[in-house]
Structure 1
Amino acid sequence: MISIAFEDEAYNAPKDFSPRHLFALRAKKGPCQIVPWKQKMLDIPVFRRAIKTKDGVETSKDAPLPYNQYHGWLVLLGVALGFIYTLTTYCLRRALGNAINGKTRNDDPNSNAAVRNLVLDHGTGSEIFERNYISRTIRYFTQDQFWGRSSDHESARTASQIGLLRDPDRPRKLSAEQGQQVRQDPEVRELAAVRGRLRAQIEEVFGVIEMAKGEPIYNDYQAVKASLAATIRKKERALLKRIQEEYDLNAPVLAIQQQLNGEQSDDDDDDDKGGIPTETVPIRIAERRYIAECAVRDPSVLRDQKGYAFHVEFSTNLIALCKRRDRRQVTTRCSPELASVKTTLDSPRLPEREPIVKRDNPLKCQDWQCLFCLASYDLPLEERKRKYKRKYTLQKHVDRCRLEYYGPDDPIPCPDGHACVD
């Protein structure tokens, strides 16, 4: 919320006020130090939905973020982080409630059932937490108590953290070979053959698919095309689920066998690997990856100056992410197999953005490139310089993403603002 407030310029604070200044503020002896919001921002939702505009996808000025959209993004975040179970808001609330409930008097004298119920918005004396939220992991060594030995409470607490439910190596997408396996399914091949016959008939009569709009054969072609895409998605999900179930069954056994054989695992420190570089994959928007990794970091290491620097770095990256735009890629069912990604949170290496060069000459685009995207410096470089396969594909992209909000007689401004003079 702090980062979003800075991005919205919601704080009624002095000029050049930044997250570093906010986290460095000290409590006064007299009245508490308040950081007020601007009056015009008091009725504006903090979390707002994304909307389409003539300049692309932007955050709405006042429309709140609906739960179904938020829920979908949260599920995708859990998949990207490698969570074994589906990540939902309930998981976050349950983890927070158990974190407060697990505090002892020595850890935090202010942690009690009343504070927990207040945070979770449960009524006083309510048993909702005990019935639906309390962790089933017992943080108590019964054998140590039986033998009169001191228990290791830190190990028990660490064993119940939400981050241990992650497995970054768990399959998340199908490889190219597995995608081709889906397309060799008899049902998929039959639908693809029907689509091919209809396409050939349309092109023989009309020349281009779009010229047949309004004809019965065009409607049949679109129906078969949609049915084919839905069938492929259904079979891909079923295949991925089967692969994940096999991985969940065999991965623990292989991990135990590796330890018995004295083999090193991917979880070992980099210092133990003899300087062997870890294979990485390019990250399109590194701020997003950094923020996602922060969500599962052990908070016990964030103390004193390290915790202060972490909060500042996190807010800075989140503000930078709010200024970036990422266009949805064209769906490719045969996704390449992902390599493991190693990210260092203490000193994240963020990609340098391409500097905006002031020019006097207009932009020159190559064949099948979008001039609107080429001049949008807030898009990733690979999205800006992307080439489309056909003229029709480029035209469809421009019509849907760039020209949709202009009327037939509206003037279309030049996208190259550096070379055009108002």
Structure 2
Amino acid sequence: MQNLSLNKGSSGHSFETGTCSEESDYTGPVEDSRDSDSDVTLVDALDGSGDEDLAWLLPKATHSPEYYLQQLEMFDEHEYTAQDYADSTTRLIDRMEDQWNKQLRGTKFASSLGTYWKVFRLMYERATDVKIDAKINRSMHKVLRKLAKEHGLKKIGRDKACMYVEDLAKVLQTNLTTTEKRYPHGRYRIQAQLYLQLGGFTANRPSALLGLCYRHIQVSLLRDPEDGPHRVMLEFTFEFTKQYLGIKDMNTFPLPEIMYDETLSFSPHVFLLGLLFCDRAFAAYNLVSAEDLSRLTIPPGRDQLPLRLNPLLDNIPVFRKAVRTVHGWDISPDEPLPYPTLLPWIRTLGEITGFAQVTRPYSLRYAGGKAFNENGKPCDLMQDTKLTYYIGNVSEAMQNLMMGHASIGTFLRHYLSRRITVDTQAVVRGIQPQTALMRAACTMSRSIDHRRPRRLTPEQSASVNNDPLVRSLLDRREQLKRTIPDATKHPKYKALASKINQERQRQRHALLQAIKERWEFEQPVRDVEQQLAGGRIKDDPEPVHYAMPPAQGELADSILSQPGTTIEEEISRRNRAIRAVTVCCGIEEGGMNPIRKAERSRNAALPAKSQAGYEEEALESAKISVFTEERPRIYFLCLGNEGLPLAQRIYAFHAPGDLSKHFRRKHLKHIQSGKVLNCNLCMVPLPDKMHLQRHAQEVHGTVSPRHSYNCC
């Protein structure tokens, strides 16, 4: 199992050098007892305070007048007078400048014109240090409307699809149980689950969630004021939010543990505690498991027991990226998970769930903001002998604080969905609104249909080669092959091959979108016609089932288990789930796409009978095969990696040459300089890449590709 120790990570790096992000140099204004309008200078204030202070203020090293004149000439005033944009805004402006004077594909939406104009204003200001006149800016809106009308641009914005709690429950379950979506490392599945939970409960921006470090988390055992069992309290402080017009104060979200919850898939406590135990993050050296947590209690006279995290991990991100190593995939000790890695996870999980809408990380923020907004309305007055209070307890000010908005207008303009969720006819007629039906009509789950096409067939994918542009590019590449010796290594050939791949990808994406749009209209029509003709609608296709790693199976079983009837059973249920999370954080899933035919045999399920005996026999047979004189088809490093599923460890390639290609692409290519390697089958260290290649050929018969031999 991969653990983070106090001083070193799983890859042997020191945590003292790891940072979540650059520390800000910003300091607030310092209060001074002297009047700010006083003529007293710093030297006057230090007069008589001792030679040490004067020595600090006036160091012995002095410079000539020419030195200071040179410093004045080198001073760049623009660095301090220019607008201080966020890194993302700067990247956007740079990207727009790179596209200047280039022929680009057009746009279909009028809103895009407004976006381009806003970015152009920023580019103009950065280049000239002068803002575009306000009168010109107002006049430009008329020009944009005219252009949109002339070119027939659509005047609709992007749908702000909300992932309500009903939708989130389905996505969370899909992430736990699907074998169609494979992550490179098991921790990625846990991180995806935790991100979805925190994004749904706090409605924070993706950058704030991905920037979460261990110093932003407080864990404590809290006494229940209603005499229930002690609860685990998690408190998250989000630091990396938008900082327009200065650094903002940080918001802290407390999340109490829910006992006897119907499902643990919504429990951030289970998943975060599993991560903390995997990383050995608690300051108490012997708090290393869920069972240790269950033995803790709150002393009499106190209401909480803080569970401090180790300060050496303060700057370590909770969400971290996976990196390639010679043995496969490993979790980086200090590199944060990039947003471009997270984005396709959320989109793919939504597709597997069956949603028609594209799911994005911001779908959680839209839904969370709407839930906060609706919760602020008084509802269902609850009566008590002493207290009368409202269930709705989110005021407008609290909503703005949680969302990080200056006013409610930001939420109305940019976050609130344009889909009306109120039963307007019931309101106007004064009858009981159909709340449940209206809620169901506005969720993503309404569109679930597993028949919806999600990828191109091999025939459809190959059809893009018939496109005239692709055809002409292919002809040019063939011409280069005939005219240039050893053309595949020529820069022109490589550039043309890259252009062909990009054009193919663009054509495939456009074809898939056209197929989806056509299906959305034609399939319901076919269903209606089939029903009226007396036919039977075909059932949804059977979901794709591949061999589930044992760790994932235990994770799904423990998280989806029913709540216990006693407090002991409930604690045992929670501990089992935390253990499953910790184990899952230490395995590799491989990141393979099980849809590819070439890899189906690798994911084939093992025989049901005598499972343990079969696994032991298969392992022994595979180990014997990598010590023979003939070139093997099983890779010895994968076979010795106990973190991989058995099917991947004993996988036999079609030919020894395929094994050599795998050796180069997946292992030799990712060897880090200066890192000591090991053969887990022979239990011998391998100092460098050259020793690994020699050991692979002389002991295990695995031949390296010819151009892979080099000194490291």
Tell me the TM-score normalized by structure 2.
0.44
The separation in 2 between residues aligned to 1:129 and 1:53, in whole angstroms, is 44
1:420 is aligned, of 683, 694, 697, to 683
Indicate whether 1:384 and 2:649 are aligned.
yes
Find the aligned partners of 2:400 and 2:573 in 1 and give their Cα distance. Answer: 29
Report if the CA contact (8 A) 1:81-1:166 is conserved: yes
How many Å apart are 1:393 and its aligned residue? 4.5
Please give the secondary structure, in 1, of the residue aligned with 2:304. Answer: coil
Q: Residue 173 of structure 1 corresponds to which residue in structure 2?
A: 455
How far off its partner does 1:128 sit? 1.4
1:349 aligned partner? none
- 1:130 CA drift (Å): 1.8
Shift of 1:55: 2.9
Counterpart in the other structure of 1:37: 309
Structure 2 CA distance for partners of 1:16 and 1:314, relative to 1, 3 Å: closer
Consecutive unaligned residues of structure 2, counting only runs of 5 or more, are 1-271, 381-389, 600-610, 686-712
Q: Closer, same or farther in 2 for the Cα pair 1:99/1:379, shift >3 Å? A: same
1: CA distance between counterparts of 2:513 and 2:291? 42
Letter in 1 for 2:355: F
Counterparts in 2 of 1:229 and 1:330: CA distance versus 1, 3 Å: farther
Q: Which residue of 2 aligns with 1:322?
A: 585
d(CA) in 1 for partners of 2:672, 2:288:
41
How many angstroms apart in 2 are the aligned matches of 1:19 and 1:43?
A: 27
Specify the alignment match of 1:4 in structure 2. 275
Rounded to whole Å, the distance in 1 between the matches of 2:622 and 2:352 is 42
Q: What does the per-residue CA deviation read over 1:112-147, in whole Å, with 9 as the maximum and x for residues that have no partner?
A: 334433332224x43211222223333332333344
- Partner residue in 2 for 1:50: 322
CA deviation after TM superposition for structure 1 residue 95, in Å: 1.0
Structure 2 residue aligned with 1:282: 545
Any conservation in 2 of the 1:360–1:418 contact (CA below 8 Å)? no
State the match for 1:65 in structure 2.
Answer: 337
Partner of 2:371: 99
Per-residue CA distance 1:43-92 (angstroms, 9 max, x = gap): 21111122223332221111222333333433343344333333222211
How far does residue 394 in structure 1 lie from its aligned partner after superposition? 3.3
Match of 1:340 in 2: none
CA contact (8 A) 1:54 1:402 kept: yes
Letter in 1 for 2:379: R
**Counterpart mapping for 1:113-152 below 5 A:** 113-123=396-406, 125-152=407-434
Count of aligned positions: 378
Please state whether the residue corresponding to 1:87 is helix, strand or coil: coil
Q: 1:85 to 1:373 in 2, by over 3 A?
A: same
* Aligned position for 1:270: none
SS of corresponding position for 2:329:
strand
The separation in 1 between residues aligned to 2:488 and 2:447, in whole angstroms, is 52
Q: Which moved more, 1:126-135 or 1:382-391?
A: 382-391
Q: Does 1:241 align with 2:513?
A: yes
Residue in 1 that maps onto 2:355? 83
Quick one: which amino acid aligns to residue 625 of structure 2?
K
1:375 paired to 2:646: no
SS in 2 for 1:413: strand
| Higher alpha-carbon deviation: 28-37 or 59-68 | 28-37
Residue ranges of structure 1 left out of the alignment (5+ in a row): 206-211, 268-277, 337-351
2:625 is matched with which residue? 364
**Pairing of 1:118-267 with structure 2 (within 5 A):** 118-123=401-406, 125-185=407-467, 188=470, 218-219=490-491, 221-255=493-527, 266=539
Moved more, 167-176 or 183-192: 183-192
Q: Taking structure 1 as reference, are residues 129 and 9 closer, same or farther at Cα in structure 2, changes over 3 Å only?
A: same
1:206-253: per-residue Cα shift (whole Å, max 9, x none)?
Answer: xxxxxx5xx776545544543443333222212111111111222343
The AA in structure 1 aligned to 2:340 is N
1:164-192 alpha-carbon deviations (Å, 9 max, x no partner): 35443321111233234334556556655
8 Å contact from structure 2 (residues 563, 570) kept in 1: yes
Q: 1:368 touches 1:391 (CA, 8 Å); kept in 2?
A: yes
Residue deviations 1:287-320 (CA, integer Å, cap 9, x gap)? 779999xx9x9xxxx9997999997777565444
**Counterpart contact for 2:357–2:444, Cα < 8 Å:** no
Most deviating of 50-59 and 280-289:
280-289
Alpha-carbon distance change, 418 to 243 in structure 1, aligned in 2, over 3 angstroms: same
- Offset of residue 42 of structure 1: 2.5
Post-superposition Cα deviations, 1:83-111, rounded to whole Å, max 9, x if no partner, equal 33332222110111112223353383433
One-letter identity of the residue aligned with 1:112: S
The 8 Å contact of residues 356 and 377 in structure 1, kept in 2 or not, is answered as: no
Query: What does 1:301-320 correspond to in 2, within 5 Å?
Result: 318-320=581-583
Structure 1 Cα separation of the partners of residues 656 and 573 of structure 2: 48
1:308–1:411 distance in 2 versus 1, CA, 3 Å: closer
SS at match of 1:62: strand
Alpha-carbon distance between aligned partners in 2 of 1:257 and 1:307, rounded to the nearest angstrom:
51
Contact 2:470 2:503 (C-alpha < 8 Å) held by counterparts:
yes
Superposed, which structure 2 residues align to 1:11-22 within 5 Å?
11-12=282-283, 15=287, 17-18=289-290
SS of the residue 1:61 aligns to: strand
**Matched residue of 1:127: which SS?**
helix
Determine if contact 2:323/2:331 at 8 Å carries over to the other structure. yes
Report the AA paired with residue 336 of structure 2. Answer: P
Q: Which residue in 2 is equivalent to 1:112?
A: 395
